[in-house]
Amino acid sequence: MKLVIIGGSGAGKSTQAQGLCTYFNIPLISSDEILRDAIAQRAASCRSIAVFCPEGFSPENSLPEGSAEQDAANLLGHQRRFAIPSFPYLSHLPQSYMETGELVTNEMIIESIQIELKKPDFKDGWVLEGYPRTAEQAEELDFLLDHLGHNLDWAIYLQVPQAVMVNRSMGRFLPDDLPEIVQRRVETFYDRTVPILEYYDRRRRLLTINGDQSPEAVQQDIITLLITSQ
């Protein structure tokens, strides 16, 4: 089973994605986790650079050539100039995008999804949560899936009223769930993400689920629809 979970902030995407992964015994790809990992790596890299590279100091030009210290300094200098090697597209703006509630750029996330989908564990199925969020991203994802020989089974839309999305998000007490950020996310969802439903509906790949229920009821509705739609 190869699935995409669509929904606004607070719609329950993460909960349902994890439940489906457990039920079908398939791996999860979470764009939010990819971004958080990239931010954590960047922060760790910056802390290391701060230790070795005080302001105004360039260690790669200040240590004996060929020494271990010089090699380490060269590596840190490379990280400082080119950011995080393992996330080449995620190192530039993700923290600011998450803080303001804006969508991340497509280039920041699509390469990491491609890396995951090439792994053997993802050959027979997966759940993608947090991406795509626009019709353009959905089309880009389709091109990627075709290139990799994957076929999307369903895009599952968790339909939740706006007020419920806001209340749920505010109740999570996460650092980036401030009122103005939550409101921006909800507005962004309706402004940019709703057209994605038309994209998948035209391709007969859309399943709409009432997300304004208990997580258990939502999960059961999804599984029932997936089984009857095979």
DSSP string, 64-111: -TTSHHHHHHHHHHHHHHH--TT-TTTSSSHHHHHHHTPPPPHHHHHH
In a domain, 172, yes or no: yes
In a domain, 92, yes or no: no
CA distance 106 to 126: 20
Closest CA to 158 of 109, 96, 207: 207
In a domain, 22, yes or no: yes
In a domain, 188, yes or no: yes
Q: Which residues on neighbouring strands pair with residue 128, listed in sequence order?
A: 4, 29
Element (H, E) at 141: helix 135-148
pLDDT at position 65, please?
47
In a domain, 50, yes or no: no
pLDDT at position 171, please?
73
pLDDT at position 18, please?
96
Q: Which residues contact 38 (CB under 8 A, 6 or more apart)?
A: 84, 87, 90, 91, 94
pLDDT at position 60, please?
43
In a domain, 174, yes or no: yes
pLDDT at position 162, please?
83
Q: Which residues contact 101 (CB under 8 A, 6 or more apart)?
A: 9, 176, 180, 181, 182, 183, 184, 185, 188
pLDDT at position 2, please?
97
CA distance 127 to 6: 11
pLDDT at position 150, please?
93
Q: Which residues contact 90 (CB under 8 A, 6 or more apart)?
A: 34, 35, 38, 84, 108, 109, 112
The phi and psi torsions of 221 (rounded to 5 degrees) equal -65, -40
pLDDT at position 63, please?
43
Task: Give the chain's domain count.
Answer: 1
Where the chain has pLDDT below 50, the residues are 49, 52-54, 56-94, 98, 100-103
In a domain, 155, yes or no: yes
In a domain, 81, yes or no: no
The phi and psi torsions of 15 (rounded to 5 degrees) equal -60, -45
Show the domain range for 143. Answer: 2-32+103-225
CA distance 110 to 132: 9
CATH number at residue 180: 3.40.50.300
